[in-house]
Structure 1
Amino acid sequence: MVNKIFALAVFIGVPISVIGSLLHWPSILMFIVYCLTIIALSSFMGRATESLAIVAGPRIGGLLNATFGNAVELIIAIFALREGLTEVVLASLTGSVLGNLLLVAGLSFFIGGLKYKVQTYNVFDARHNSGLLMFAVIVAFVIPEVFSISMNESETLTLSIGISIILILLYLAALFFKLVTHRGVYQTENNKEGGAAGSHHEEVPEWSVKRSILILALATLAVAYISENLVHTFEIVAESFGWSELFIGIIIVAIVGNAAEHASAVLMAYKNKMDISVEIAIGSTLQVAMFVAPVLVLLSLMFPTNLSLVFSLPELVSMASAVLLMIIISNDGETNWFEGATLLAAYLIMGVGFYLL
């Protein structure tokens, strides 16, 4: 039933998005249409990546889900960069980190915990990801802020470029470590292909590999077109609702841009496939911090307005707090509904704070 609703939203939303952009319909109306259509398209991307995950296994499946989920946000950010909206881009990166670690993981732990008293996942992956989270978010994002105090704008951009290159190289090395040199080394009973205990029955993917890839490609193209038009509505919507660019980036863009992985992670947790769910939530955060953000810094060199990895103090404190809370909760390889509620409570507190800024 839900899939039929999303399908209807796509078949109605995409034509309306095209017609509305050509006829210049009111920006607030089109902002709503664009957001709903992107979320509906994201559901197709989520179903396609879930089909691929069944064939490829939890690690590669989680990576695929995070990659195509972040593709939506990357596309939105590129068009925002082209318009010179660097604050929105930095805010969307912050929102993605907070959304994945607190909202996505929190909902997954909470929904899964309501069905199962205790859910387990690969503790070795959790500890490995903890170190990367500390490096990617706290070290790589805090260092530019600290050093930029005594640097001019050109030096800060040079520092950001250098850090971006290092982050991309380390991210590629991390993928090589997990998927090649140490694949299967840190195995647990709950990390076998197919997910957690209790879900070892063989699943049949909804779509074939070829069909999944085709749907992913078409959905990504549609999202690219709609995202470009969505960016043009930000300023008018912000003025109309009294929202800051910070709030739009951290809450609105992050939720819309990550809709696919949000839904997939919660669904996997409900099916007790916590290895995939955690891989989506934490893996997506790492990809945003170590790949998406650096790529945006390098791409911004082609635009009039360049992007530096210098976040505001509220953004840095929020991201650091989310990372530390997630590490403390996830390092034991077990979770329950109360831990999910704790993460959600932290997200709501930060959301209220950014709304009032």
Structure 2
Amino acid sequence: MFSRIFFLLVVIGMPLSIIGSVFHWTPLLMFVIYCLTIIALASYMGRATESLAIVTGPRIGGLLNATFGNAVELIISIFALKAGLIEVVLASLTGSVLGNLLLVAGLSFFIGGLKYKRQSFNVYDARHNAGLLTFAVIVAFVIPEVFSQTMNDERTLVLSVGISIILISLYLAALLFKLVTHRGVYQRKDETIDEHENPEWSGKLATTILFISTLAVAYVSENLVHTFEIVAERLGWSELFIGVIIVAIVGNAAEHASAVIMAYKNKMDVAVEIAVGSTLQIAMFVAPILVIISLMFAEKMPLVFTLPELIAMATAVLLTIVISNDGDTNWFEGATLLAAYIIMGIGFYLL
């Protein structure tokens, strides 16, 4: 059912996106068309990565899904940087962290918990991710904000670039640790791969669909960015709310859907890897890359968030660690994460 809906959205949305941008339709209408089209395209990216990941196991599968899911957000953010919308980019990064840890993980735990009384996942991965989340969000994001209080803009940017290089290096080291040097060392005894599961698409077809979807998202995203300021003005939304809620949900639609589907199938290792792995990738790779890319544009982006953004992200990290550190979850823990996301969403809307 959903696959047909997304197919229709792509078939209708792509032509309307092109026609509307050529004939300059009203920005509010185009904003809705662009968002729906990106969500539909993201679903195809999610299905393609799921097909590619079936034979690779939960870690690589989750990493693939998170990587191509975050590709949408990276593309949107680059065009926003080019347009000088620094606040929107930082807010969208905040929204990705909150969305992945509270909305995606919360929905996964809740939907999966309605079908199964208890669901478990690799506790060793959970503890490993807890340390990285603490470092990436609470340490690497808070330090620039604290030190920038006594620095000028130039020194703050130098500090941000330095921290960005360290974050990228540690993220690559984390991948080396999980996928190469310690692959299988912390595997659960009952962790197995379903050898009888068949991919929806062949590897060749999945790769082709992934490539085409990414190109289409790049085109639509560039046009979407140009509607932000007008839509914010007409609807009374702040750029902070657009970045934290709207851009984050649209940009992460692929892994949102995939994580919930995996949880419903009781594949919690994949679901958790998508939600937490995507957060780590945003914090330790996408955000630092955007800081470095911004050096090529007129307006540079330091890795300095506002106080509400920092407190919201730190709270989301701590709550996720407390709930997931035992490797076991249920629907009530999912509801707790969702409640936290709604509370923060209301707060950012009213700011």
TM-score normalised by length of structure 2: 0.99
Match of 2:350 among 350, 353, 356: 356
Q: Which of the numbers 207, 212, 216 marks the counterpart of 1:218?
A: 212
SS in 2 for 1:250: helix
CA distance in 2, matches of 1:349, 1:278: 22
* CA displacement at 1:191 relative to structure 2: 2.8
Tell me the residue number matched to 1:242. 236
Letter in 2 for 1:213: T
The amino acid across from 1:302 in the alignment is M
CA–CA distance in 2 between the matches of 1:21 and 1:102? 34
Measured against aligned partners, the alpha-carbon deviations of 1:86-130 in whole angstroms (never above 9, x if no partner) come to 000000000000000000000000000000000000000000000
Q: Which residue of 1 aligns with 2:124?
A: 124
Deviations 1:222-263 (A, max 9, x none): 000000000000000000100000000000000000000000
Shift of 1:190: 4.2
Structure 1 counterpart of 2:315: 321
Distance (whole Å) between structure 2 residues aligned to residue 19 and residue 190 of structure 1: 53
Is the 1:104–1:265 Cα contact (8 Å) retained in structure 2? yes
Question: How far apart, CA to CA, are the structure 1 residues paired with 2:192 and 2:252?
Answer: 27
Partner of 2:64: 64
1:291 aligns with 2:282: no
CA deviation after TM superposition for structure 1 residue 273, in Å: 0.1
State, as a whole percentage, how many aligned pairs show the same letter: 77
Partner residue in 2 for 1:105: 105
CA distance in 2, matches of 1:58, 1:325: 23
Given that residues 120 and 190 in structure 1 are in contact (C-alpha distance below 8 angstroms), is that contact kept between their aligned partners in structure 2? no
Residue aligning to 2:339:
345
Displacement, 1:217? Answer: 0.4
Match of 1:75 in 2: 75
Task: Judge conservation of contact 1:13–1:37 (CA < 8 Å) in 2.
Answer: yes
Code of the residue aligned with 1:111 in structure 2: it is: I
Distance 1:190 1:66, change over 3 A: farther
For 1:1-357, what aligned pairs fall within 5 Å after superposition? 1-194=1-194, 202-357=196-351
Deviation at 1:75, TM superposition (A): 0.3
Q: In the comparison of the two structures, how many residue pairs are matched?
A: 351
- CA distance in 2 between partners of 1:10 and 1:61 (Å): 25
Q: State the one-letter code of the partner of 2:55.
A: V
Question: What are the superposed Cα offsets for residues 2-21 of structure 1, whole Å, 9 maximum, x if unpaired?
Answer: 10111111011011101110
CA distance in 2, matches of 1:291, 1:61: 18
User: Hey, which bits of structure 1, 4+ residues long, moved more than 6 A?
Assistant: none
CA distance in 2, matches of 1:353, 1:326: 19
Q: Which one-letter code corresponds to 2:39 in the other structure? A: I
Q: Secondary structure at the match of 1:104?
A: helix
Q: Which consecutive unaligned segments of at least 5 residues does structure 1 have?
A: 195-200
Provide TM-score, normalisation by structure 1. 0.98
- Per-residue CA deviations over 1:20-57 (Å, capped at 9, x if unaligned) read 10111100000000000000001100110111111221
